[in-house]
Amino acid sequence: MTVTLITGASTGIGEATALHLARMGHTVYASMRTPDSSGDVLRAAAQEERLDLEVMRLDVDDSTSVASAVGDVMERSGRIDVLVNNAGILKLTSVEEAPLEEAKAVFETNVFGALRMMQAVLPEMREQGSGTIVNMSSVAGRLVSPGHGIYAATKYALEALSEAVAIETRRLGIRVIVIEPGFISTPILDKGGAVEVGDGPYAVHLKRMQSLYSNARGGADPPSAVAEVIADALDDPTRRFRYIAGKDAPPVLNGRARMTDEEWIDMGREMTDEEYFAESGRRFGADGGAGTE
């Protein structure tokens, strides 16, 4: 029986992954900050479908909470085979205008939260000589759009940590997987589309990003699409490091790969919205999908 611990499972990708893996036969611990007011979908499914799935409290920003939750899983199941680091938050803002405390909060969850979790489970995985860590990145972990500087910085950092851990633990039987979704229909997508832009010096960039988020709502893949990628990655005999998820992710990453750094940066030059979205469409596909999840 594969024992899997998932963070940020109250909604979206975390919730879908918990359900998908539990239905595949995993023993799933679906964690979230406020299980008393969240997790009803998971509890109902566990009862109705007789899934080996338990909702538990875990705040990745709190070292005591992390240690307690990991200790609880070890006490109940005796092992942790898979950790899915899914908890994350979004901040859509220019770098200049980002309140420092809010920027720190994004790093606290997206980077240090994942680091806390890895440090908490790695001793157990080393002891058992096996284990897989799945870190939820984004296509924003490989390209940066205006307005995404803080968020993308956390995903770049997470990818760097993931690569280091993958190398450091290779001889120990531990595997690290990075998942890079594009636009996915989650609460983060809704928050990105609803952000207040204002009329500051970077408003034109933020409004375009807001528009991309809003327009993506209708056609974004469901969270279950990412859950399926995670499940396939866990069973992939090639043991790849990176996996992309969502139908808009390939054109975004491929389009960026065809551009020089200077061409990418030049997307920030003075131009009308019509010119911007027309160029985005040519480079990234009909929808101009230069946004990220």
Query: Could you tell me the two tokens for 17?
Result: 């992954």
Catalytic residue among 151, 213, 243, 276: 151
Q: Are 223 and 184 in contact (CB under 8 A)?
A: yes
Active site residue 202: no
Alpha helices, DSSP H, located in the chain: 12-23, 40-49, 63-77, 100-107, 114-128, 149-168, 187-194, 203-216, 223-235, 249-257, 261-265, 273-284
Q: Calculate the alpha carbon distances from 221 to 144, 245, 266 in Å.
A: 21, 9, 29
Strand 174-181 with 131-136, pairing: parallel
Q: Collapsing DSSP states into helix, strand and coil, what is residue 169?
A: coil
Instruction: Please report, as a single letter, which amino acid is at residue 162.
Output: S
Catalytic residues: 151
